[in-house]
C-alpha cells in the first residue's frame, strides 16, 4: 500500500509546479519594446493629445513634449494615471499600460 502512495504524491507536486507559473496574458499589453499610443487628457478642457512611445521609454519624454506644445512650464503640470501621481520616470511597462491608455493632466496654478 505504501508503494501506491508514491506516484500519487509526485502527481500532486507536478500540478502545484505548473500552477506556480501562471500563463501571463500578453494580449492586452505589448511585448518587448513595441511602441504604444497613450492619450494625455487635459482635465480643464477635456482635450486629448495622443503620443506614441516605446513600451520601455520613460513617460518624461511625452510630458516634456506635451508641456512644450502647450507653451507651459512642465512643473505646473500634474500627471496621473488611474489616481496615481506620475513623476515621469515611469514607463508604460512599469505601469502596465495598455495601448490607448489615458493619462490625466492637471494644470496647477503657481502660487506666491
The three cell numbers locating residue 111: 502660487
Residue 63 exposure: Cα atoms within 13 Å on the Cβ side: 26
Q: Quick one: pLDDT at residue 59?
A: 97
Q: What is the pLDDT of residues 14-36, one digit of tens each?
A: 444 444 444 444 445 556 888 99
Q: What is the pLDDT of residues 35-64, one digit of tens each?
A: 999 999 999 999 999 999 999 999 999 999
Measured between alpha carbons, how far is 82 from 96 in angstroms, rounded to an integer? 12
Q: What is the pLDDT of residues 66-90, one digit of tens each?
A: 999 999 999 999 999 999 999 999 9
Amino acid at each position: 500500500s505504501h508503494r501506491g502512495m508514491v506516484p500519487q504524491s509526485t502527481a500532486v507536486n507536478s500540478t502545484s509546479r505548473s500552477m506556480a507559473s501562471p500563463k501571463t496574458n500578453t494580449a492586452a499589453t505589448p511585448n518587448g519594446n513595441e511602441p504604444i499610443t497613450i492619450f494625455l487628457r487635459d482635465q480643464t478642457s477635456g482635450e486629448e493629445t495622443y503620443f506614441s512611445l516605446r513600451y520601455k521609454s520613460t513617460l518624461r519624454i511625452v510630458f516634456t513634449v506635451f508641456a512644450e506644445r502647450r507653451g507651459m512650464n512642465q512643473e505646473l503640470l500634474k500627471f496621473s494615471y488611474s489616481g496615481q501621481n506620475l513623476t515621469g520616470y515611469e514607463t508604460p511597462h512599469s505601469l502596465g499600460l495598455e495601448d490607448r491608455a489615458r493619462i490625466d493632466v492637471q494644470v496647477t496654478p503657481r502660487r506666491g
